[in-house]
Amino acid sequence: MPVLAALPLPLGPELAESFADLVAMAAGAHCFLPVVDDSTAPDRVLLETALRVGEPVDDPLACLVVATSGSTGTPKGAVHTPATLAASADATHARLGGPGNWLLALPPHHIAGIQVMLRALRAGFTPMIADLRDGFDARRFAADVALLRGPRRYTSLVPTQLVAVLESPEATAATAELDAVLLGGATTPAPLLRRALAAGIPVVTTYGMSETGGGCVYDGVPLDGASASIVDGRVVLSGPMVAHGYHLLPDHPAFAVPGSFRTDDLGSVDDGMLTILGRADDAISTGGLTVVPQVVEEVLAQDPSVAECTVVGLPDDRLGERVVAAVVAAPGAVPDTAALRALVASRLHRHAAPRQIVVLPSLPRRGPGKVDRRALREILAATLRTGAAAAAD
């Protein structure tokens, strides 16, 4: 059985020194757990301990164990093989119009960043590496795009990075010259997507996770060989890019059907188009009714004063949970919280309208750009205790 080894991946140009290891991994010569390059980082120590670096992986074909981006509990590691990684890369290039070179602008130890590099390397190119040691810089990103060479040129971003790109005319113009920009890692607000498309940026929204080798549904349509179905309300993704299971958890029910992964997301499929409604464990039970946060977020995001928003449930003695929204104001705007609540009530139902709305300077993040809902609940609870919120009871 292959032995799991840690593969530290830096955030700067020195990452290129790891390309040979990635090529060997994709060929099945090694089994790696990608980690940050700081050996003292708490997250790395936790991962290496929980996933037992230095011990065998109980899958003779395993070449990659990639940590899930879950925010609670013991980390899980999705087990991939050369075949699952190749299937993902090939299906992506087939959907986008053909093989090309890629610019990495995401953390390299997450599945989305790993796949950016593996796609380029599989196509015979040397991927371009954005320097993220000081965070994402839109002007520097524009310069990197200008240096990217290949018959087709691609990159992958998360929504917060796209916001930064659109705030820079130079970065917007450069990004619009790419053949495709994969956008995932977190829900994309509809106004942001419209702005990007209007600016000529060839955005392709993606849905997937570590367990599916990254995105396997593009613009709502599964990649070739993949499929999406709904079982008991939850999204099930199937295809050759699906991981073989979780390392150390051989009987996990999410992988009960080989080649399929049962997600924790609620969704629907109509005429082959997948729509994600939200996570099952994020659903809010208020006054005996169920509110799906993402549905409320989509309505709030339609107001031009709202740049970002997230809806969560907070404990309530009378309702069980109450719907609370955190919004980030658009530049130069002042959100009218009463009007926002009325907007949701008119589009959905009054029980879905946030009882309270809090305007924050930013939303807490985890992993590759996802909102950290647990941290946000703590922030909102503390803010509401001080009375610095707009109540709408």
Residues of the chain with CATH 3.30.300.30: 283-391
Question: Do 241 and 91 contact (CB within 8 A), yes or no?
Answer: yes
Helix (H, G, I), strand (E, B), or coil: what is residue 3? strand
Q: Could you tell me the pLDDT band of residue 171, with boundaries at 50, 70 and 90?
A: very high
Q: What average pLDDT does the segment 326-355 reach?
A: 93
Task: Return d(Cα 62, Cα 29) in angstroms, integer.
Answer: 10
Digit-coded pLDDT (tens) for 280-293 = 888 899 988 889 89
Question: Do 299 and 347 contact (CB within 8 A), yes or no?
Answer: yes
**Residues, the chain:** 393
Q: Kindly list the distances between the CA atom of residue 272 and the CA atoms of 88, 221, 321, in Å, as whole numbers in the listed order.
A: 19, 7, 35
Per-residue model confidence (pLDDT) at position 277: 87
Digit-coded pLDDT (tens) for 257-312 = 999 999 999 999 999 999 998 888 888 999 888 898 989 999 999 999 999 999 99
Task: Read off the tokens for 26.
Answer: 């994709």
Q: Which run of H or of E encompasses 104?
A: strand 101-104
Q: Kindly list the distances between the CA atom of residue 64 and the CA atoms of 84, 162, 237, in Å, as whole numbers in the listed order.
A: 10, 29, 20
Task: Read off the tokens for 30.
Answer: 């090694």
User: Partners of 278 in the beta sheet?
Assistant: 266
**Exposure letters 334-363 (e unless 16+ CB within 10 A, then b):** ebebeebbebbbeebeebbbbbbbbbbeeb
Alpha-carbon torsion (96, 210, 38, 124), positive or negative: negative
- Residue 327, pLDDT > 50, answer yes
- Residue 71, pLDDT > 50, answer no
- Residue 390, pLDDT > 70, answer no
**DSSP category for residue 249:** B
Per-residue model confidence (pLDDT) at position 69: 61
Question: Do 188 and 209 contact (CB within 8 A), yes or no?
Answer: no
Q: Which run of H or of E encompasses 49?
A: helix 42-50
Fold of 4-276: Rossmann fold (3.40.50)
Fold of 283-391: GMP Synthetase; Chain A, domain 3 (3.30.300)
pTM, entire model: 0.85
Sheet holding 153-157, edge to edge: 128-129, 101-104, 153-157, 180-183, 203-209, 214-218, 221-222
Q: Could you tell me the pLDDT band of residue 195, with boundaries at 50, 70 and 90?
A: very high
**DSSP category for residue 186:** S
**Closest by CA position to 226, among listed 218, 190, 170, 58:** 218
First to last CA, the chain: 60
Other CB atoms closer than 10 Å to residue 126's CB: what's the count? 14
